[in-house]
């Protein structure tokens, strides 16, 4: 019975944290970093309706705000974290495929999940999405994106406009066990540094690592080369890596 209570406490804490982070995102949206910081009230109202109607589920492409020019305003996913994560991996913004499938890194040619399976579970074969998320949690890895919302046509980072960052500083306060941030690609790092300042890492005594993107657009990095570099950095962060 004691064990059951502990499990329920962990689940309740996780739900509360996710709802708290969404509230913080709404409160900070008007003042946080954007290319065009001013947004009209109806868009704020619509964004709030979408987020709260989603409950604790992930935000999908059905939760998007259409501007007058017809371009979609997109919202990313909530963070993934276990009880005591040691590091946080930050991407830029979920791709169109990821938003459509409601999964982080859903594009079949993105190397993120094959890379994590190879490094953390010694498996190259498929796992269910829930199994992949659990693999990260038990390994001490949290997952999120630097961008919380943006306007974008297609999936390329170069097409991102009107972006707002996620409340990463608040997330790190909640998960104080995180001592390292790993940026999956240059866009994730540049958005973070512009939103929170380049001195944020030193001020909070964190380690930061700029890693090569797992995106298929980063074709110059093959899988084995990616594995070597990501494995090296994860090991520095204290994550147990499977040696092949």
Helix runs in the chain, H state only: 2-28, 41-53, 96-101, 112-116, 129-139, 168-174, 186-196, 200-203, 223-236
pLDDT of 86 over the 70 cut: yes
Do 118 and 216 touch, CB atoms closer than 8 A?
no
164 three-state secondary structure: strand
List, for residues 194-225, the tens digit of each pLDDT value: 999 989 999 999 999 999 999 999 999 999 99
Domain boundaries defined on the chain: 2-236
Give me the mean pLDDT over the 69-85 stretch. 87
Nearest to 186 by CA among 219, 163, 209, 216: 209
> What percent of the chain stands above pLDDT 70?
68
**Which carries the bigger pLDDT value, residue 31 or residue 111?**
111
List, for residues 10-22, the tens digit of each pLDDT value: 455 555 566 655 6
**Which carries the bigger pLDDT value, residue 183 or residue 56?**
183
Q: Report the pLDDT value the prediction gives residue 162, as an integer from 0 to 100.
A: 86
DSSP letters along 77-101, please? Answer: PPPB--SS-SEEEEES---HHHHHH
Q: Per CATH, the architecture of 2-236 is what?
A: 3-Layer(aba) Sandwich (3.40)
For 38, other C-beta atoms within 10 Å of its C-beta total: 6
């Amino acid at each position: 019975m004691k064990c059951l209570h502990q499990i329920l406490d962990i689940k309740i804490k996780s739900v509360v944290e996710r709802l708290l982070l969404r509230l913080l995102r709404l409160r900070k949206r008007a003042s946080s970093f954007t290319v065009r910081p001013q947004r009209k009230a109806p868009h704020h109202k619509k964004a709030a309706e979408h987020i709260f109607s989603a409950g604790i589920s992930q935000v999908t492409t059905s939760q998007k705000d259409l501007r007058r020019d017809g371009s979609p305003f997109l919202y990313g996913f909530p963070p993934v974290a276990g009880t005591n994560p040691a590091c946080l991996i930050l991407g830029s913004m979920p791709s169109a495929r990821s938003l459509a499938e409601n999964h982080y890194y859903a594009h079949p040619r993105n190397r993120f999940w094959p890379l994590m399976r190879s490094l953390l579970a010694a498996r190259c074969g498929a796992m269910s999405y829930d199994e992949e998320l659990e693999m990260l949690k038990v390994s001490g890895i949290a997952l999120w994106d630097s961008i919380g919302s943006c306007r974008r046509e297609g999936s390329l980072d170069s097409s991102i406009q009107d972006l707002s960052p996620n409340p990463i500083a608040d997330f790190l306060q909640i998960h104080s066990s995180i001592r390292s941030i790993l940026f999956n690609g240059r866009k994730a790092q540049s958005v973070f540094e512009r939103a929170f300042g380049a001195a944020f890492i030193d001020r909070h005594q964190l380690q930061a690592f700029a890693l090569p993107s797992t995106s298929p657009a980063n074709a110059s990095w093959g899988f084995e080369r990616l594995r070597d570099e990501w494995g090296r950095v994860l090991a520095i962060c204290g994550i147990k890596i499977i040696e092949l």
